[in-house]
Chains A and B, each alone.
Chain A
Amino acid sequence: MTETEFEHAVRLIEQGDSSGLHMVYDAYADKIYRLFLGKLHHQQDAEDLTSDFFLRLWEIAPQHQSGRGHRSWLAVIARNMAIDHIRKAGREMPVEDTECIGVEPIADSDTPEETVLGTMQTADLLSSLTEDEQEIVRLHIAAELTFREIADVLKRPLGTVAWKYRQAIRKLQKLAEEGCLL
């Protein structure tokens, strides 16, 4: 969604027209859901929070300053809601939770790396990263934010974000090569 399209949607929301909110929902609901899922590791909670997110957006969309990146603005709101939810719940959801999203084992293939990786869940590999690294990887891959937008969301320098992402990917590569979890 371009900035112009987003501003058009905001104007519709200001006029009380829910089609504006639907435009944003169509464009970003899945990404917002993935952000919440990555933080909460709980499918139902992620869905509920996604719903709350858009209801909040309905109220605060006019506060968005036109010309400023709307994607990072939305990501900041989502991130803050997730943090608030976790604090209220009083705990982080464990990865082993039965409603956690896992990945079907990857089908065997010829290369040793793919065979090794096929026997362990990618979610487990990701959990070997630090919180910081996980968050940056999720924002880049799941929410499809650029490094610049991630730097904006996390209030970190751009170079640090890009470097931590590269380090995280290198860590995962190493784990895949070693064929074991640390």
Chain B
Amino acid sequence: MTRKEIEERCREEMQQSIPDKNALWEKIEQRLPEQRTVVQEKQKISHKVLYRTMAAAACFLFVVSGVILLRTRLVPVKNDSIYMTQDAVSNEAPAGKENYGAPVRKENYEAPAEEECNEAAEGAADEEYDASMKEFTANGNASLTYADLSVPDGGEPQVQTDQLSADGYFTQEEVLRQAELFVDVQVTDAQQLASGEISYTLSVISVYAGTETSIGDSITIVNHSPYLLKTGHEYVLPIYDESGWQLAGDCAPQMELTLDGKVLYHSGWISLMSESAVPVTCERRSKDDFFYDRMYLTGQAELVSFLQDWENSRI
């Protein structure tokens, strides 16, 4: 049975309706209290809160004005480097790196007025990200941009910005590790289907499976991820078989191998992180682009080590 058929069967089983919806509503309505007391209490409480807030604000103003008065009389104004503006700090290019653009820092990004972030889900995923990233960002490795990478045609990664959504963001290695196998592939063709999905034809270079697996010289993956695979580029993809090969973790950019033997990956691949990992950034393409500053470049040694560990765990 296909996935859709299974879901349809589940839907038939689960979508039970209330036997008598009108009768239940009548029961509810009869039990509703006659008057709402909550609003009146809220009004009383809000008056108290208002008076307290005004009193606190008055005290605060008194204290602040007192401090300002004292400072202007007694403390000289400093104009040393510790008072450099935020812009000056973030746009200062390291010596010898004049050719690349200033790194994009999260704190300089002005969030759009109506940013629809699911803070709970993003925060939960971010905890794991932040915990592992602390030690690496502290190294202060200068970041690169995509234009600095050695890839077939250079340029920015391809992203369907109208397909990006905060709903699709995650960075969990635990999920990615549940792939059935990893394939080292080169994209030979990419065609957009009527459904909006992309059908990728991939030439298989290597397979990492832990068990003997033969998948042929070429495979096709149909995928809806807004982070597109570029024709001619080489990737290491976590895949599994579900009525055809599917990408595990298709809500993020895939691992890419550069022409000079390095690995570009997103920060969810915590196992690949090392002291030598270099951040790779680009302009944030939309409010739902969560990977513009979460890509890293590392040597192949980390990838080889990870794949060996993964294969051994599968044997």
Residues of chain A touching chain B, judged by Cβ–Cβ distance below 8 Å, are 14-16, 18, 21-22, 25, 29-30, 33-34, 37-38, 43, 47, 50-51, 54-55, 58-59, 62, 69, 101, 103, 106, 113-114, 117, 121-123, 125-126, 137-138, 141-142, 146-148, 151-152, 155-160, 162-163, 166-167, 169-170, 172-173, 176-177
Q: Give the contact-size bracket for chain B.
A: 35 or more
Specify which chain A residues have a CB less than 8 angstroms from the CB of B32 in the assembled complex. Answer: 18, 21, 55, 58
A143 to B117 CA separation, bound complex (whole angstroms): 22
Decide if B121 touches A141 in the complex (CB within 8 Å).
Answer: no
A139 to chain B, nearest CB (A): 10
Which of B7-15, B221-229, B257-265 contacts its partner? B7-15
A88 to chain B, nearest CB (A): 20
Tell which of B10, B21, B36, B178 touches A163, judged by Cβ atoms closer than 8 Å: B178
Specify which chain B residues have a CB less than 8 angstroms from the CB of A18 in the assembled complex. Answer: 29, 32
Besides A148-B118, A170-B242, 9 new A-B residue pairs in contact (Cβ under 8 A), listed by A number = A15-B39, A21-B28, A25-B25, A151-B118, A151-B124, A159-B170, A160-B174, A170-B3, A173-B1
In the assembled complex, B249 has its CB within 8 A of some CB on chain A: yes
Decide if A25 touches B28 in the complex (CB within 8 Å).
Answer: yes
Give the number of A-B contacts (CB < 8 Å): 142
Q: Which residues in chain B, 241-294, are within 8 Å of chain A measured between CB atoms?
A: 242, 248-249, 251
Decide if A122 touches B10 in the complex (CB within 8 Å).
Answer: yes
Specify which chain B residues have a CB less than 8 angstroms from the CB of A137 in the assembled complex. Answer: 10
B13 to chain A, nearest CB (A): 4
A63 to B32 CA separation, bound complex (whole angstroms): 18
Tell which of A29, A38, A158, A169 touches B170, judged by Cβ atoms closer than 8 Å: A158
Q: Which 8 A-B pairs have the closest CB atoms?
A: A159-B170, A142-B14, A122-B13, A151-B121, A16-B36, A148-B167, A159-B172, A159-B175
Q: Which residue of A lies closest to B21 (CB)?
A: A29
B209 to chain A, nearest CB (A): 18
Task: Answer whether A141 and B7 are a contact pair too, CB < 8 Å, given A58-B32, A62-B42.
Answer: yes
Decide if A47 touches B3 in the complex (CB within 8 Å).
Answer: no
A123 to B10 CA separation, bound complex (whole angstroms): 8
Decide if B167 touches A158 in the complex (CB within 8 Å).
Answer: yes
